[in-house]
């Protein structure tokens, strides 16, 4: 018994020493909205296969969901999260809920465009302005979780599209409880946001800006979230008032996350790329 206790103490103390002396920089690159568009599907996979992305967020109610699940199953090393969705923000393309939830949709049956009231949209265009019902939110989120797990068995976590869980403490608690119930909860405490570039930076400066900011990182754990895409005919139709340059913006996300210069900087800086699954393990 004494030997077992001594062994445990040695292990415990060595773990503490490692944590205290850990000078490693960890970076989690997360790509959002796979399933939303064909171009988004292709770009997200490219940023994993030829770039630095380690985790990707899957949108179940969207038109390109099934293609996305096929691609994700062909790339089982790509960590997947369910991007729980209660909004449909674009002007020319819309998605509906998977379940009947009249308190969460507009007059045409589509999800509201926004979570919070937004002056770029007509009055009544947000969940905040609706008389949302928690039971309808729960049934819809459960449906999205279950269909995602049905098609992609290696899902590790959940996230929320446009951060709707911040709208109300009851919604936040529901999302947390569902994550625990479906064993998709992950402790992200201490994970700091990494700012790759400023929205004011010119597109052709983004790779350099990203590398400059990588060079400034100090030991710790960081999260970077973006939305890959392509500047093609499909994405050129995507946008809404206040965000019209979607195709170009997301093309440059893809270029940055697959850039040789970025990959060389990460290697030179000895940055360790991680995923949500790594945090869970």
CA distance 102 to 111: 9
Sorted by where each starts, the structural domains of the chain and their CATH numbers stand as 24-280 (3.20.20.370)
Query: What DSSP line would sit under the chain, residue for residue?
Result: -HHHHHHHHHHHHHHHHHHHT---EEEEEEEEEETS-HHHHHHHHHHHHSSS--EEEE-TTSTTHHHHHHHHHH-TTSEEEEEE------SS-----SS--GGGB-TTSPBPSBSS--TTS-TT-BSTTS---HHHHHHHHHHHHHHHHHH-TTEEEEEEGGGGGGS-HHHHHHHHHHHHHTT-----TTEEEP----TTS-GGGHHHHHHHHHHT--SEEEEEEE----SSTTGGG--BTTB--HHHHHHHHHHHHT-HHHHHHHHHTTEEEE-HHHHH-
pTM of the model: 0.91
User: Residues with Cβ < 8 Å from 182, sequence gap 6 or more?
Assistant: 145, 149, 158
Q: Which two tokens stand for residue 254?
A: 């893809």
Q: Which of 29, 75, 42, 46 is nearest to 235 (CA)?
A: 42
Q: Answer whether 152's CB lies under 8 Å from 58's CB.
A: yes
Q: Answer whether 160's CB lies under 8 Å from 30's CB.
A: no
pLDDT confidence of residue 4: 35
**C-alpha dist (Å) from residue 169 to 13, 134, 172, 182, 261:** 38, 11, 5, 20, 42
pLDDT surpasses 90 at 135: yes
pLDDT surpasses 60 at 16: no
Of the pLDDT bands very low, low, confident and very high (cuts 50, 70, 90), residue 232 is very high
pLDDT surpasses 60 at 13: no
Of the pLDDT bands very low, low, confident and very high (cuts 50, 70, 90), residue 176 is very high
Beta bridge partners of 26: 221, 272
CA distance 57 to 55: 7
Residue 151 has φ and ψ, to the nearest 5°, of -95, -25
C-alpha torsion sign, points 184, 144, 76, 50 = negative
pLDDT surpasses 70 at 27: yes
Q: Residues 66, 39, 76, CA angle at the centre, nearest 5°? A: 50
pLDDT tens digits for 177-188?
Answer: 999 999 999 999
pLDDT confidence of residue 280: 87
Q: Which two tokens stand for residue 232?
A: 């093609």
């Amino acid at each position: 018994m004494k030997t077992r206790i001594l062994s445990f103490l040695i292990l415990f103390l060595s773990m503490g020493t490692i944590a205290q002396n850990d000078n490693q920089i960890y970076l989690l690159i997360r790509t959002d909205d796979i399933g939303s568009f064909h171009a988004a599907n292709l770009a997200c996979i490219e940023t994993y296969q030829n770039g630095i992305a380690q985790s990707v967020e899957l949108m179940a109610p969207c038109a390109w969901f099934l293609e996305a699940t096929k691609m994700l199953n062909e790339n089982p090393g790509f960590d997947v999260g369910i991007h729980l969705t209660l909004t449909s923000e674009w002007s020319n393309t819309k998605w509906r809920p998977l379940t009947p939830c009249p308190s969460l949709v507009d007059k045409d049956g589509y999800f509201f465009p926004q979570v919070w009231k937004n002056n770029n949209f007509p009055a009544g265009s947000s969940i905040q302005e609706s008389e949302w019902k928690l039971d309808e939110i729960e049934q819809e989120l459960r449906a999205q979780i279950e269909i995602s797990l049905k098609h992609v068995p290696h899902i590790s976590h959940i996230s929320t599209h446009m951060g709707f869980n911040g709208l109300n403490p009851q919604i936040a608690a529901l999302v947390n409880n569902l994550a625990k119930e479906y064993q998709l909860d992950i402790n992200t405490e201490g994970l700091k946001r990494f700012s790759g570039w400023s929205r004011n930076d010119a597109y052709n400066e983004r790779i350099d800006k990203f590398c400059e900011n990588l060079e400034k990182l100090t030991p710790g754990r960081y999260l970077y979230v973006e939305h890959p895409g392509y500047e093609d005919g499909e994405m050129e139709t995507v946008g809404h008032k206040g965000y019209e340059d979607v195709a170009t913006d997301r093309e440059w996300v893809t270029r940055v996350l697959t850039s040789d210069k970025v990959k060389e900087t990460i290697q030179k800086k000895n940055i360790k790329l991680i995923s949500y699954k790594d945090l869970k393990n």
